[in-house]
Structure 1
Amino acid sequence: MAKTAWVFPGQGSQSVGMGMDLLDLPTAREKFQQAEAILGWAVPDLCRGEDALLSRTLYTQPCLYVVSSILVDLLQQQGEQPDLLAGHSLGEYVALYAAHVFEFEVGLRLVKRRAELMDSASGGIMCALIGFDRGQLEAQIRQTPDVVLANDNHESQVVISGTEEAVAGVLSQVKVKRAVRLNVSGAFHSPLMAGAAQEFHQRLAAAPFTDAQVPVLSNVEPVPTLEAVTLKERLMQQMTGSVRWHETSLRLPVEGIERVVEIGPGKVLTGLVKRTCPQLLMENIQGMADLESRAAALVSA
């Protein structure tokens, strides 16, 4: 069987209606009820509600974690097991859950606090850039204080993060085909999140982690590891560090990966990986229809 990596999307991949086709499953109902007890609100209500509310960081991150974790449970109940795991920003928490580094409740409590702190962050902006001279952009960022490369998604698709003045300064000096300001409350994955990160670290330090059962590529250091201590240290750096997704994509074939399965809403990550490593096979598991198709394919194989 092809060596497989499971990858998990982060904020921005959410969509109204996600997870609703899972409500009739006992496994899913149990997880939704458990999540409601922790969050104080029902994930299904947010997922079938208004897009503006679902897209607020406070709600987006827990909803993505819960829905993606349920899909992980269902795949593992089918006997599926990956050879490697990775997640984009919030998705890294689902990757750690899938690797059995922590229990569902532990991960959700971390995600809940992370979402609260990031939602209340102020100062700074994020801007997605598409189509630019890579060398010129990186040189300009090095010359400009208070701005960083926050999400390195692909050779020609990144997100920069920093003060409004610093981001504007970079854009005034670099020719970009398209620049889109993201609808977020602060400059995520930058040093401007240091205050929120310091407060979150207290919660993260106390969380029980065990060694992973499957190697995980972290955002800040896309080198596979099973060690709980290392995975926690890397997660400590994530809120202020860059998401090195381009390097993650390049690492997959180095680790012998032949197939990438994106688990959760949307197809953003498989799209990015495909552009970087076109030789890899791509698959998406977004809900019951995909799970049933996959189960049928395994039976007939």
Structure 2
Amino acid sequence: MTKIAWVFPGQGSQAVGMGADLFDLPEAQPQLEMAEKILGWSVPDLCQSEEDKLSCTLYTQPCLYGVESLLVQQMKKQGLSPDVVAGHSLGEYVALYAAEVFDFATGLTLVKRRSQLMNNAAGGQMAAFIGFDRTQLEQQVQHTENVVLANDNSDAQVVISGTPEAVDSIIANVKAKRVVKLNVSGAFHSPMMADAAKEFEEILASVEFSEAKFPVLSNVDPTPTTDPQVLKQRLIQQMTGSVRWRETCLQLSKQGIERVIEIGPGKVLTGLVKRTCADIALENISSIPQVSTSI
């Protein structure tokens, strides 16, 4: 039996029109109606609007969670299930939902509060480095205050996060094929999110987590676990901690995963998995026809 991992993308994978073929499904209506009550706005309307709202953190995160969760529902409807799950940043919430650690409404409520806290963060900067000297970058980060390695995506791609001055200093002192400043409001996945993380921890304290149906690899610690308290603690740490995606990919290999299915818009995560684990088969599912071909 082929060992399969489901992985879920985060902010940056969104696209206008995503989820269009899911929104008319009769079985999707309860979740969509519930989402509108929780959010105060319509996920389908936002996803299909030509306005630039979808690129705003406040809307991006709930929309991605909604679309990816509906795809999970379709996968499970076909009798499909993974051996392990993981998600990149926001995608970790969908991974926890897929593993039945909490229900759809609980996850969306958490994502709504998370998006509000992150949207309100200010004064930070993030930048992606593609094609760089890792040793040089790590040394510069180590010797520069107010900046951290926020996303360790692969050997060839990372994201740093910190104050604008610190980020500019790293950009000026590290050679790279390409550097892209991200269009974000704050220094996500860094100590600068400490106040938001503290507030979010209080919110999480009142939420009951169930034991995961299959192991989850968390961003801050990709060691597989089903323990609800461990998963909650890791989620608390996620807002200020680094996304260790490169290590997550290595862990998939260590777990004997032979096939990775990225569930959600885009192909970012399968691209990153390919760079780290070239021997793992890759698949992308962002629409209903793709669900059918995955059986």
Q: TM-score, normalised by structure 2?
A: 0.99
State the Cα deviation string for residues 64-98 of structure 1 (Å, max 9, x = none): 00110011011011110100000000000000000
Instruction: Name 1:31's counterpart in structure 2.
Output: 31
Q: Distance in 2 between matches of 1:174 and 1:291?
A: 42
State the Cα deviation string for residues 15-41 of structure 1 (Å, max 9, x = none): 000111112211212211110010000
2:230 match: secondary structure: helix
Q: Distance in 2 between matches of 1:27 and 1:195?
A: 39
1:21 match: secondary structure: coil
Question: Shift of residue 208 of structure 1?
Answer: 1.1
Gaps of 5+ in 2: none
Q: How does 1:221-240 map to 2 (within 5 A)?
A: 221-240=221-240
2:21 match: secondary structure: helix
Instruction: Name 1:131's counterpart in structure 2.
Output: 131
8 Å CA contact 1:11, 1:60 repeated in 2: yes
Question: Shift of residue 176 of structure 1?
Answer: 1.3
Question: Shift of residue 293 of structure 1?
Answer: 2.3
8 Å CA contact 1:99, 1:212 repeated in 2: yes
2:180 match: secondary structure: strand
Q: Distance in 2 between matches of 1:274 and 1:236?
A: 29
Q: How does 1:153-172 map to 2 (within 5 A)?
A: 153-172=153-172
Question: Shift of residue 126 of structure 1?
Answer: 0.5
Q: Distance in 1 between matches of 2:126 and 2:255?
A: 32
Q: Distance in 2 between matches of 1:69 and 1:115?
A: 17
State the Cα deviation string for residues 180-206 of structure 1 (Å, max 9, x = none): 010110000000011111111111111
Q: Report the AA paired with residue 20 of structure 2.
A: M
State the Cα deviation string for residues 45-66 of structure 1 (Å, max 9, x = none): 1000136210100000000001
8 Å CA contact 2:74, 2:288 repeated in 1: no
Instruction: Name 2:11's counterpart in structure 1.
Output: 11
Q: Distance in 1 between matches of 2:220 and 2:251?
A: 13
Q: Distance in 1 between matches of 2:217 and 2:125?
A: 27
Gaps of 5+ in 1: none
8 Å CA contact 1:7, 1:95 repeated in 2: yes
Instruction: Name 2:49's counterpart in structure 1.
Output: 49
Instruction: Name 2:213's counterpart in structure 1.
Output: 213
Q: How does 1:80-229 map to 2 (within 5 A)?
A: 80-229=80-229
Residue 51 to residue 15, structure 1, CA distance change in 2 (3 Å): farther
2:92 match: secondary structure: helix
Percent identity of paired positions between Structure 1 and Structure 2: 63
Q: Distance in 2 between matches of 1:75 and 1:162?
A: 38
Q: Report the AA paired with residue 64 of structure 2.
A: L
Q: Report the AA paired with residue 199 of structure 1.
A: E
Runs of 4+ in structure 1 deviating by more than 2 angstroms, as ranges, are none
State the Cα deviation string for residues 214-270 of structure 1 (Å, max 9, x = none): 000000000000000000000000000000000000111100100000000001000
State the Cα deviation string for residues 110-167 of structure 1 (Å, max 9, x = none): 0000000101110110001101100000011000000000000001100000000001
Q: Distance in 1 between matches of 2:50 and 2:229?
A: 39
User: Please, which moves more after superposition, 260-269 or 18-27?
Assistant: 18-27
8 Å CA contact 1:106, 1:208 repeated in 2: no
Instruction: Name 1:267's counterpart in structure 2.
Output: 267
Q: Distance in 1 between matches of 2:253 and 2:293?
A: 26
Q: Distance in 2 between matches of 1:216 and 1:132?
A: 30
Q: How does 1:69-88 map to 2 (within 5 A)?
A: 69-88=69-88
- Count of matched residue pairs: 295
Q: TM-score, normalised by structure 1?
A: 0.97
Q: Report the AA paired with residue 35 of structure 2.
A: A
Question: Shift of residue 292 of structure 1?
Answer: 2.6
Q: Distance in 1 between matches of 2:242 and 2:52?
A: 26
8 Å CA contact 2:190, 2:239 repeated in 1: yes
User: Please, which moves more after superposition, 176-185 or 87-96?
Assistant: 176-185
